[in-house]
């Protein structure tokens, strides 16, 4: 008798893992490592946060092309450790003043990593289980990616040929890449978001028309920029983050 052929991870989990990597991946946290005397635990947490979005894709590629399979004695403890670590990092971010979107991103990313690991299981249902666990994280990734064209179209429509720029509220420079227009990169993570003493917007669009500047606030509800009639009323004034320039979007790098 011949041994049964080893199952191969299908295209659906692989595609889902790719979408998750595209929708979630962010190298911005690495800037924290440039600070002097970064504690080892902080550096490890940053590395885990940066690596997490690509782990499902790495698992999918290893499962499909390298046919890597982990025994249950390895896979189960590894899954539990990743789940616990993801939850702890998410809760730590919330204690530092994170928003509901940050909480949702942390939970979905944890679920994606756990789902990705299941593709390395030896059971024939490993791919189906992975796809089930990664379903919600994939939907969030699609929403994140859909924000890019929505923000671009909204900005171009409002600017109507006038100079404009897009920046995160409270920054001193505009966004640098198209990747920063993704929903999971565009939302604010600043402490005090919508508290009684601070109100941080997700992102602002500044348009220069007829020697006058107008400020617009990104709204996830409207999936577009909405007028901000009184930017000076905010504790952190909006409207000075960047200088409008012609064809701003054309100057952005892909990543």
**What string of DSSP letters covers 106-158?**
HHHHHHHHHHHHHTTSSSTTHHHHHHHHTHHHHHHHHHHHHHHHHHHHHHHHH
- CB-neighbour burial class of residue 69 (10 A; exposed 0-12, middle 13-18, buried 19+): middle
Res. 19: pLDDT tops 60: yes
Res. 198: pLDDT tops 60: no
Task: Give tens-digit pLDDT for 208-217.
Answer: 988 789 999 9
The residue that leads in pLDDT, 99 or 127, is 127
Res. 98: pLDDT tops 70: no
Q: Report helix, strand or coil for 60.
A: helix
Element (H, E) at 85: helix 72-95
Q: What pLDDT does residue 35 have?
A: 80
Q: Where do the DSSP E strands lie in the chain?
A: 164-167, 204-209, 212-219, 224-227
Instruction: List C-alpha distances in Å: 134 to 112, 129, 168, 178, 238.
Output: 5, 9, 29, 25, 37
First to last CA, the chain: 52
The pTM score is 0.88
Give mean pLDDT, residues 234-244: 84
Res. 1: pLDDT tops 60: no
- Asked whether 151 and 186 are in contact (CB, 8 A), the reply is yes
Q: What pLDDT does residue 199 have?
A: 62
Distance from C-alpha of 144 to C-alpha of 23, rounded to nearest angstrom: 6
Give mean pLDDT, residues 91-99: 74
Task: Give tens-digit pLDDT for 217-228.
Answer: 999 999 999 998
Res. 126: pLDDT tops 70: yes
Q: What pLDDT does residue 32 have?
A: 74
**43 pLDDT tier (thresholds 50, 70, 90):** confident
Res. 123: pLDDT tops 80: yes
Distance from C-alpha of 21 to C-alpha of 55, rounded to nearest angstrom: 8
Res. 193: pLDDT tops 60: no
Res. 232: pLDDT tops 80: no
Portion of the chain with pLDDT greater than 70, in percent: 91
Q: What pLDDT does residue 154 have?
A: 98
- CB-neighbour burial class of residue 192 (10 A; exposed 0-12, middle 13-18, buried 19+): middle
Element (H, E) at 87: helix 72-95
- Asked whether 43 and 161 are in contact (CB, 8 A), the reply is no
Give mean pLDDT, residues 219-242: 86
Span of 35-49, 76-90, 111-125 with lowest mean pLDDT: 35-49
């Amino acid at each position: 008798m011949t041994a049964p052929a080893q199952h191969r991870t299908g295209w659906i989990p692989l595609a889902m893992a790719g979408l998750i990597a595209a929708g979630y991946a962010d190298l911005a946290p690495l800037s924290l490592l440039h600070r002097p005397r970064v504690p080892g635990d902080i550096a490890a947490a940053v590395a885990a946060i940066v690596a997490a979005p690509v782990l499902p894709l790495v698992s999918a590629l290893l499962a499909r092309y390298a046919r890597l399979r982990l025994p249950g004695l390895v896979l189960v403890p590894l899954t539990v450790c990743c789940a616990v670590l993801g939850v702890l990092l998410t809760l730590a971010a919330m204690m530092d003043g994170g928003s509901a979107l940050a909480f949702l991103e942390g939970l979905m990313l944890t679920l994606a990593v756990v789902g990705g690991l299941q593709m390395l299981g030896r059971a024939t249902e490993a791919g189906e289980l992975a796809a089930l666990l990664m379903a919600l994280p994939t939907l969030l990734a699609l929403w994140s990616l859909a924000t890019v064209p929505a923000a671009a179209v909204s900005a171009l429509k409002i600017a109507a040929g006038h100079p404009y720029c897009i920046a995160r509220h409270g920054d001193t420079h505009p966004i640098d890449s198209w990747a920063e227009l993704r929903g999971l990169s565009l939302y604010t993570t600043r402490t005090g978001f919508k508290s009684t003493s601070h109100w941080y917007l997700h992102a602002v669009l500044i348009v220069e028309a007829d020697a006058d500047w107008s400020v617009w606030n990104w709204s996830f509800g409207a999936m577009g920029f909405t007028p901000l009639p009184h930017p000076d009323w905010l504790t952190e004034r909006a409207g000075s983050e960047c200088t409008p320039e012609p064809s701003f979007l054309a100057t952005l790098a892909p990543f």
